[in-house]
Structure 1
Amino acid sequence: MNTTANTTVSTPAVVNAQPSLLERLGGNDVLEVVLEGFYFRLLCDEDLLEIFDGIDTAWLKVHQHKFLTLAFNSADLSGKAVGKHIARGHARLWAKGLSERHFDLVVEHLVEALLEMDTEQSLMDDVVAVVRPLRTVFEENALKHRQQQQASSNSKIASTSNVTAVPNTQTKRDSATGSAAKKSTKKRSSSVSKSVFSMFNARTN
């Protein structure tokens, strides 16, 4: 009797890859429009002018494009490597007072640029959730720079105090030399007076 073996053919499960945040927003074309609005808002904000003053605007635009592309492609921005990169890349701006306050303003302008494109609230929430971890980087580096400035200021004050407290040995040496010179002058004057007196006595006698 012939028997037919039952065989089960397993097929690989189809994994539906989740679209990136950039794809959900509409792709690169939408990103370009969002970037224009975002960039315009940054340069019109008086509270950010003190930070961006003197910065090459072309560089700023390229920088923002790279950042948004990275963020919207669902990159993990909470890693230490990202934090170190931002800290180094913004070195000049920490000296200008860059802080978490400016970060909040930048995120606010990003949300406004997205609103202008009629972006869904859920997508905007996701965008904010992606960039939010970076706030700690700005907060920590701003604090670190303020502490360095305070330490430098205290060091200068201490240095000035030490200079004031050190006795002026040169002045003492000059004073001692002056006193010795005066004594020597007095001795010479006394000797001359005695000589003149002796000469006067010799003539009168």
Structure 2
Amino acid sequence: MSLYERLGETAGIRTAVDDFYRRVLGDPELAGYFEGVDLAGLHSHQTDLLVQVTGGPAGYTGRDLAAAHQGRDISPEAFDRVVAHLVATLTALGVGEADIGAVGAALTAHRDEVVASETAA
């Protein structure tokens, strides 16, 4: 069984994404990163991306992670808070530790594409 299936396929992933963004947008240290962002579009793209990277049908048509996060000046601490919210979401939804670890590892592999470069001026 794929991670996609264990997460409840598209419906389960959509539920996780909705809960995740409620947590992130409710975090005063993260909410500012989402000012002026099309949240409905973001939810849709995030769901499609997670469906695809967890073994579901390919459907993601958004920008690559580096382009999507360019200019947002995301700090390492903000990235870590986002990951913590995702872990809390998956835990609350009853996802097993091994699957949470797999999702966390997938995110961490893209950290350098999301976090602002310290050498940027």
TM-score (norm 2): 0.80
Find the aligned partners of 2:43 and 2:22 in 1 and give their Cα distance.
10
* Alignment partner, residue 106 of structure 1: 82
Please report how far the alpha carbon of residue 67 of structure 1 lies from its aligned counterpart in structure 2 after TM superposition. Answer: 2.6
- How do 1:1-205 residues align onto structure 2 when only pairs under 5 Å count? 19-73=1-55, 85-93=64-72, 97-139=73-115, 141-145=116-120, 148=121
- State the superposition RMSD in angstroms: 2.1
Larger Rg: 1
Higher relative CO (Cα under 8 Å, sequence separation at least 6) belongs to 2
**Which has more helix, going by share of residues?**
1
- Which sections of structure 1, spanning at least 5 residues, go unmatched? 1-18, 75-83, 149-205
* Contact 1:42 1:48 survives alignment (8 Å): yes
Q: Alignment identity in percent?
A: 30
Superposition deviation, residue 37 in structure 1: 0.6
CA–CA separation in structure 1 for the residues paired with 2:53 and 2:83:
12
Q: Give 1:20 shift.
A: 2.2
* TM-score (normalised: structure 1): 0.50
The code of the aligned residue for 1:70 comes to Q
1-structure distance, mates of 2:33, 2:100: 26
Give the unaligned 5+ runs of structure 2. 57-62
1:129-185: per-residue Cα shift (whole Å, max 9, x none)?
A: 22211112234x43243xx2xxxxxxxxxxxxxxxxxxxxxxxxxxxxxxxxxxxxx
**In the comparison of the two structures, how many residue pairs are matched?**
115
Question: Which stretches of structure 1, 4 residues or longer, exceed 4 Å deviation after superposition?
Answer: none
